């Protein structure tokens, strides 16, 4: 999407993408029952033309490198997202059967969920999409464990309703504090604790606080973590870009990073993680890049 706006400004663009098709999370994340790939294909077909060159199976940091791109291009826009599942840093997270939701949906390396009990931790779109996917793959019991209540779930309301009609269960106001396994190191239960929600000065959202002695156990075969996502620390390290304290690429209000000629937008810079915001970043960054290029070319003249 970001590159479409650059093209509109008359700039020749090359897109480098690590997968073998374009689409980002819309193709490699959001499940097909929510967004059919044919819809995306049609949309891309209308967007792409001879001014946009597409190079798939090119992974920044592995088979293309920033310094090479800097030599070849007048400006670079980074928008490689933030699709790596965060961890909770609780005991048992390294057991077999604990899976990151983002990776599960992106790479579709599904274990055999048939007849299994699955706990999905989180309350956003990723948690709901994961729960609905796993249910379709035959899991007998799928429970979403969320530390706040239903009204505060960041997921789309419609999606929550769909999940309920698909017999997905919800444990609200519940925190997971430990994952337990059997002698083979396979997950077999989670320890949870009830929460209460309190108002803190200066905070818009209610804060969940664990209620003492309210611990209980839930039997489960898999635990899928959908508690947020981050960008690749390894890749950021290679790029030598300044980052924010939350680990996103730092930009100024014009989408400029700490390296001249390198811009960034979308989930990578930590704006609201929605499709609309990523597209908006792309539109605004394209204007800034156009401005930057016109100044640069004037100086060269």
Ligand X SMILES: Cc1cc2nc3c(=O)[nH]c(=O)nc-3n(C[C@H](O)[C@H](O)[C@H](O)COP(=O)(O)OP(=O)(O)OC[C@H]3O[C@@H](n4cnc5c(N)ncnc54)[C@H](O)[C@@H]3O)c2cc1C
Q: Which parts of this chain interact with ligand X (CB under 6 A)?
A: 16-19, 24-25, 29-30, 59-61, 79-81, 83, 102, 105, 125-126, 129, 156, 235, 266-268, 273-276, 278
Distance in Å, CB of 39 to ligand X, minimum: 14
Structure tokens, 38: 């044919």
- What are 222's two structure tokens? 């898999």
The residue to which tokens 């400029």 are assigned:
256
Sign of the four-CA dihedral 239, 89, 132, 144? negative
Q: Are strands 169-171 and 141-145 parallel, antiparallel or unpaired?
A: parallel
Q: How far is the CB of 262 from ligand X (least distance, A)?
A: 14
Largest Cα separation within the chain, whole Å, is: 73
Nearer CB in complex with ligand X: 40/193 = 40
Nearest to ligand X of 88, 273 (CB atom): 273
Q: In degrees to the nearest 10, what's the CA dihedral of 21, 128, 175, 233? A: 10
Q: Which residue has the tokens 């209610």?
A: 206
- Which is closer to ligand X, CB of 44 or CB of 278? 278
Output the smallest distance, CB 110 to ligand X, in A.
14
Of 102 and 195, the one with the shorter C-beta distance to ligand X is 102
178 alpha-carbon distance from chain centroid: 24
Residue 107: φ, ψ to 5°: -100, -10
Between 166 and 219, name the residue whose CB sits nearer to ligand X.
Answer: 166
CB of 34 to ligand X, least distance (A): 7
Give the residue with the Cβ less far from ligand X, 113 or 173. 113
CB of 25 to ligand X, least distance (A): 4
Q: Which is nearer to ligand X, 28 or 172 (CB)?
A: 28
| Long-range contact pairs involving 10-13 (C-beta distance under 8 Å, separation at least 24) | 11/51, 11/289, 11/290, 11/293, 12/51, 12/53, 13/51, 13/52, 13/53
Measured from the CB atom, the residue of 125 and 243 that comes closer to ligand X is 125
Distance in Å, CB of 2 to ligand X, minimum: 7
In the bound complex, which residue of the shown chain has the CB atom lying closest to ligand X?
266
CB of 24 to ligand X, least distance (A): 3
- Taking each helix axis as running N to C, give the angle between helix 125-136 and helix 157-165, from 0 to 180 degrees, rounded to the nearest 10: 20
Return the CA Rg of the chain: 22
Please, which residues have CB within 8 angstroms of residue 277's CB and are 6 or more apart in sequence? 266, 271
User: 3-class SS at 49?
Assistant: coil
- Nearest distance from C-beta of residue 69 to ligand X, angstroms: 11
DSSP-assigned letter for residue 25: G
């Amino acid at each position: 999407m970001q590159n479409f706006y650059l093209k509109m400004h008359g700039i020749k663009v090359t897109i480098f993408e690590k997968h073998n098709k374009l689409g980002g999370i819309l193709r490699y994340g959001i499940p097909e029952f929510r967004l059919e790939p044919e819809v995306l294909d049609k949309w891309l077909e209308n967007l792409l033309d001879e001014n946009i060159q597409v190079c798939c199976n090119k992974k920044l940091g592995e088979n293309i490198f920033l310094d090479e791109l800097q030599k070849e291009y007048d400006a670079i826009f980074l928008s490689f997202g933030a699709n790596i599942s965060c961890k909770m840093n609780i005991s048992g997270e390294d057991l077999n059967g604990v899976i990151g939701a983002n990776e599960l949906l992106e790479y579709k390396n599904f274990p055999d969920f048939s007849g299994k009990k699955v706990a999905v931790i989180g309350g956003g779109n990723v948690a709901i999409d994961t729960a609905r996917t796993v249910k379709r793959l035959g899991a007998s019991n799928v429970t979403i464990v969320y530390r706040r209540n239903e009204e505060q779930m960041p997921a789309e309301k419609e999606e929550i309703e769909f999940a309920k009609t698909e017999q997905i269960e919800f444990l609200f106001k519940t925190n997971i504090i430990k994952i337990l396994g059997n002698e083979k190191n396979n997950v077999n239960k989670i320890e949870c604790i009830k929460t209460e929600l309190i108002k803190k000065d200066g905070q818009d959202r209610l804060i969940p606080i664990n209620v003492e002695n309210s611990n209980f156990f839930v039997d489960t075969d898999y635990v899928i973590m959908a508690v947020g996502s981050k960008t690749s620390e390894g890749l950021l390290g290679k790029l030598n870009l300044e980052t924010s304290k939350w680990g996103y690429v730092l930009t100024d209000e014009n989408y400029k990073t700490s390296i001249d000629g390198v811009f960034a937008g979308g989930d990578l810079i930590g704006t609201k993680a929605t499709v609309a915001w990523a597209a908006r970043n792309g539109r605004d960054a394209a204007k800034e890049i156009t401005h930057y290029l016109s100044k640069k070319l004037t100086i060269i003249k």
